[in-house]
Chain A
Amino acid sequence: MGSFQSLPDDHQYRTLSQKTGFSLEQIAILHNRFKQLSQNEETLWRDDLKTIQDLESNPIRSQIIEAFFDSRNFQKDGVGSVEEIGFEEFLTVMSYFRAPPQNITVEQREEMRRAKLRFLFNMHDTDNDGTITLEEYRHVVEELLSRSGALGRETAKGIADAAMLEVASISVGPMAPDEFYEGITFEHFLKILNGVEIEMRMHIHFLNMDATVLCK
């Protein structure tokens, strides 16, 4: 794959490339970033990510950071969260944000979409019970709106409630007066986000040049 400096984990790169779909250059760049963040250690801790200055102003910062340590995102049936992650897990989480390549089949595209949505779902579902309850959803909305400043918690709650009801109405249909909507399951989640082009919105142009010097 071209000639670049043979790094000690060249072979590892190849396996990672196959697993996640990044190109070797991209993996090298991301590895640099990883090392930069983890201060050249082997594993990354939460605190390392919290030090990123640019991330300070992001309203869902904690969720994003948490997503990296959520074992559901890098293991097939992972449960719970871990304290530290290695480069492989880092890369796996990143791979959720890859752009869908041009020439993939419909099923593959659908699979990618599901994977991305699953990632989002896991971001919300903090207690790992497979449903997004109202409290969790509220938490999300509050975080999102916290940047606006002028809004109170009640507004956020109201909005979350309305959103929740929307989900209920879309996925479950009209409910009898005594029914109670437990929470958003993954299937419902898929349904409500049917209209949104996830694969278009949720991807990053992974560059082939090293911009890490520009980051704070």
Chain B
Amino acid sequence: MPQVEDTDPDPDPGETTQAVFTLNYPRIQIPFEITLWVLLASFAKIGFHVYHKITVWVPESCLLISIGLIVGGIMHSLHEKPPAVLTSNAFFLYMLPPIVLDSGYFMPTRPFFENFGTVLWFAVVGTLWNSIGIGISLFAICQIEVFGVQDITLQENFLFASIISAVEPVAVLTVFEDISVHEQLYIVVFGECLFNDAVTVVLYNLFNHVAALEVVEAGDVFLDIGRFFVVGLGGTIFGALFGFVTAFTTRFTGKVREIEPLIIFLYSYLAYLIAELFAISSIMAIVICALTMKYYVEENVSQRSCTTIRHVIKMVGSVSETLIFFFLGVVTITTEHEWNWGYILFALLFALLWRGLGILVLTQIINPFRTIPFNFKDQFGLAYGGLRGAVSFALAFTLPDNIGRKDLFITGTIVVIIFTVFIQGITIRPLLKLMNVRKTNRNQETINDEIHKRLMEHTVAGIEDLCGQWSHYYWKDKFMKFNNRILRKILIRDNHPESSIVALYKKLELQNAMEVLDQMSGDISAAPSLISLHEERKNASKSRKKFLSSDVTNMHELLSKNMYKIRHRTVSYTNKHTLPDDITAREILMRRHTSLRRSLRAGSFHGTNAAKMSQKYFSLPMGRSLNSRFPPRRLVHAGDGDIESEINYSSIRHPQRVSSKAVMPLRPLNTLKEVASSVNTVDGQNEEQRGCRRSHLGSNVSRSGHLTSHLPHGSSRNCSDGDHDAWVEEPQNNSDVQHPLMRRPHWLPQKPHDK
């Protein structure tokens, strides 16, 4: 535990002679103060979001620093010293890992790997370029006598340069996300920031080591370069290893669901620590570990564990980040600064200059290799979005004391950080908007999109095979084959290989289902007219944002099954010879719950295939095929789901499938609505909220639409009461259908709603 000075403003009342009431502050001092600081930072965060407009224009890091400055001012005036939490150990062992794990875990994998080369290029080469460039120019400045900083050696300059070239993603990414910037840009910035943390730390250690030496020999330099690669690669391999081990472990945690999140965290942290032990890049290790294990783990663990993991990672990561910025503010006021106009201003200038130059040059070199080259606006976004932040600060603060000008460096770093965060952070948004940076094509991803994307990939891969010209699709294919054949079998518990198209499809279906649910939950007895349903559906689809491919697939899968079921049910109703099927109804409900749970898991940002849903299907009775007693009715409702298509296009039989759709609108589904809303309250995350909201939005209408349209058109029963009563009756008749709801307390956090 870091040594904390006593900042207790309350005077110790001292020992009293009474034993009735005692005050023992020193005992709880350390945890108490930590808690208070974290709480204070959290209050600051809450406070920002109360007034929403602020966060739109001013990135959160700015606000946090400002609050920190204020608090620092207060403390300074009270002549208190801030808690010395920013020791090297505390930062590198406790505060940095959560931040990095957060970035690594939520990295959208598919775009990341597609842009892997670019990301690495910018991260590694870019950081090197920056560090060396800034270092040399600053050294040149140092030679000028006027500034009076001649005592700074070249190594120390390099050290400082490496500190201030570490780019920090958080603020930038929020802005990018808000203005829906092009995905390529986003992923490059994200990846670059992530990896350049690793590179910076390595460089820092390297230069630190070198700075301590009196004389630098060429041999040392080469050794160091070699070491650089060892460190980077070693970290990667290590991380991958740990990732696989984690995935493998989760394969066996079927019976002990509670500890699943714990395992994830422990392994990640372990990867970090052991990498630190061997002095290889721990950041790389933990990031690669998170990347590799995420895919398999999310298929193995239970729904709730998955949510827990995501939440905790986000929470701890953001707490860490918050604290660091906060302390930045505090420390700015309270430390002894050494100010040197020339050095610091030039440092700032060079930092900006070299970054801009670097991006320009590097982009020119790598553009020919990219399928989507970066234009000037993209480059501007990249360069301008290079804000410095937490890592720089921590690295500066933890400089060893034998560096002569440590205070100057700290001051310089703080200036650079504050400048970039405030000035660039605040202005980047209007600037990018002004320049109209290429926006993302993030329209609602339809099944068609997914199908055709996949088609094109296959086509291109096929043509490449045909004409003998390879590109990265080849490697992707190979990897997917390897993955499906070997890795998945080992690492995943129930192995259901799933195509992303099916994933998208299911998700869309599920979304439909949820929408129907929402829409219908209020007013069951009214007979919704076809037209109003259409409109509702359209409105609902407008507010739909992007969603996970995997969710969509699940949804669609579900809906397709529902579709069959509905037909069946309808047939059975019109078919006087068969009774309504209780068992299937219950099964419908169970599947409904499963799929709902899965849908509420949605929340990844760019709607990539990052998260694959677990395929825990209940076994469905694949019953007999439908008789076409049900006259195939050529009916297509725009946007209405798949039932129509079934009716329209298939005169051939379809196997009966269990569908929860039948039961869906029946009970007022306040239960599910409740659940949804409760999940909403639980999730504070934007993403989760979006996900939940998304899953609420309108597929209800289509369902009711289905209902209405699928009532046997032969009869005039449209949405007549008869039918509705019939539908509604059914659950009431079967009390046991209700029970699944109640018997699932873990799903409904609130009391299950009694119908």
Q: Residues of A at under 8 Å CB distance from B?
A: 29-30, 33, 37, 49, 52, 54-55, 57-61, 63-64, 94, 97, 99, 102, 120, 123, 134, 140-141, 144-145, 147-151, 154-155, 157-159, 161-170, 172-175, 177-181, 192-193, 195-198, 200-207, 211-212, 214-215
Write 24 A-B pairs (CB below 8 A) sorted by A numbering: A30-B467, A33-B467, A52-B466, A54-B465, A58-B462, A97-B460, A141-B451, A144-B458, A148-B502, A154-B560, A157-B650, A158-B505, A158-B559, A162-B509, A162-B559, A162-B642, A166-B447, A177-B637, A177-B709, A195-B449, A196-B449, A202-B459, A203-B371, A204-B463
Whether, in the assembled complex, B648 has its beta carbon less than 8 Å from a beta carbon of chain A, the answer is yes
- Chain A residues closer than 8 Å to B641, beta-carbon distance: 162, 165
From A30, A52, A54, A140, residue with most partner B Cβ within 10 Å: A54
B462 interface neighbour in A60, A144, A163, A175, Cβ under 8 Å: A60
Complex Cα spacing A5 to B464, Å: 26
- Stretch of B12-20, B143-151, B493-501 lying at the A interface: B493-501
Q: How far apart are B546's CB and chain A's nearest CB, in angstroms? A: 11
Whether B638 contacts A168 by the Cβ 8 Å rule is: yes
- Chain B residues closer than 8 Å to A207, beta-carbon distance: 469
From A52, A162, A200, residue with most partner B Cβ within 10 Å: A162
Complex Cα spacing A205 to B471, Å: 7
Complex Cα spacing A198 to B459, Å: 12
- Chain A residues closer than 8 Å to B616, beta-carbon distance: none
Interface of B is mostly: helix
Q: How far apart are A26's CB and chain B's nearest CB, in angstroms? A: 9
From B447, B615, B641, residue with most partner A Cβ within 10 Å: B447
A58 interface neighbour in B371, B449, B465, B508, Cβ under 8 Å: B465
- Chain B residues closer than 8 Å to A60, beta-carbon distance: 455, 458-459, 462
Which residues in chain B, 102-153, are within 8 Å of chain A measured between CB atoms?
A: none
Beyond A163-B448, A195-B441, A196-B453, is A179–B636 a contact (Cβ under 8 Å)? yes
Which residues in chain B, 468-526, are within 8 Å of chain A measured between CB atoms?
A: 468-471, 477, 481, 496-499, 501-502, 505, 508-509
Whether B470 contacts A164 by the Cβ 8 Å rule is: no
Whether A201 contacts B457 by the Cβ 8 Å rule is: yes
- Other than the given A145-B501, A175-B637, 20 more pairs (CB < 8 A) read A33-B467, A52-B465, A55-B466, A60-B459, A102-B373, A144-B451, A148-B497, A151-B499, A154-B655, A158-B560, A158-B642, A158-B646, A174-B534, A179-B634, A195-B443, A201-B457, A202-B456, A204-B464, A204-B471, A205-B469
Complex Cα spacing A169 to B537, Å: 12
Whether B501 contacts A196 by the Cβ 8 Å rule is: no
Return the 3 tightest CB-CB contacts between A and B, nearest first.
A158-B560, A161-B645, A54-B465
Beyond A55-B465, A197-B441, is A144–B499 a contact (Cβ under 8 Å)? yes
Complex Cα spacing A134 to B634, Å: 13
Whether, in the assembled complex, B654 has its beta carbon less than 8 Å from a beta carbon of chain A, the answer is yes
- Chain B residues closer than 8 Å to A195, beta-carbon distance: 441, 443, 449
Interface of A is mostly: helix
Whether, in the assembled complex, B405 has its beta carbon less than 8 Å from a beta carbon of chain A, the answer is no
Whether A162 contacts B556 by the Cβ 8 Å rule is: yes
Q: How far apart are A161's CB and chain B's nearest CB, in angstroms? A: 3
Q: How far apart are B712's CB and chain A's nearest CB, in angstroms? A: 13
- Chain A residues closer than 8 Å to B556, beta-carbon distance: 158-159, 162
From B497, B499, B561, residue with most partner A Cβ within 10 Å: B499
A169 interface neighbour in B468, B470, B501, B638, Cβ under 8 Å: B638
Whether, in the assembled complex, B199 has its beta carbon less than 8 Å from a beta carbon of chain A, the answer is no
Closest residue of chain A to B558 (Cβ to Cβ) is A158
Whether, in the assembled complex, B197 has its beta carbon less than 8 Å from a beta carbon of chain A, the answer is no
Complex Cα spacing A157 to B641, Å: 13
Whether A49 contacts B466 by the Cβ 8 Å rule is: yes
Complex Cα spacing A123 to B461, Å: 15
Q: How far apart are B164's CB and chain A's nearest CB, in angstroms? A: 36
Whether A193 contacts B452 by the Cβ 8 Å rule is: yes
Complex Cα spacing A28 to B388, Å: 51
- Chain B residues closer than 8 Å to A177, beta-carbon distance: 530, 635, 637, 709, 713
Closest residue of chain B to A58 (Cβ to Cβ) is B462
Complex Cα spacing A196 to B451, Å: 11
Which residues in chain B, 623-642, are within 8 Å of chain A measured between CB atoms?
A: 634-642
Whether B460 contacts A61 by the Cβ 8 Å rule is: no
Beyond A162-B505, A165-B642, A205-B469, is A200–B460 a contact (Cβ under 8 Å)? no
Whether, in the assembled complex, B71 has its beta carbon less than 8 Å from a beta carbon of chain A, the answer is no
- Chain A residues closer than 8 Å to B645, beta-carbon distance: 134, 161-162, 164-165
Complex Cα spacing A179 to B637, Å: 9
Q: How far apart are B649's CB and chain A's nearest CB, in angstroms? A: 5
Closest residue of chain A to B443 (Cβ to Cβ) is A195
Whether B636 contacts A155 by the Cβ 8 Å rule is: no
Beyond A54-B465, A97-B460, A206-B469, is A178–B635 a contact (Cβ under 8 Å)? yes
Beyond A120-B456, A157-B650, A169-B639, is A33–B468 a contact (Cβ under 8 Å)? yes
- Chain A residues closer than 8 Å to B634, beta-carbon distance: 178-180
Closest residue of chain B to A207 (Cβ to Cβ) is B469
Which residues in chain B, 530-564, are within 8 Å of chain A measured between CB atoms?
A: 530, 534, 556-557, 559-561, 563-564
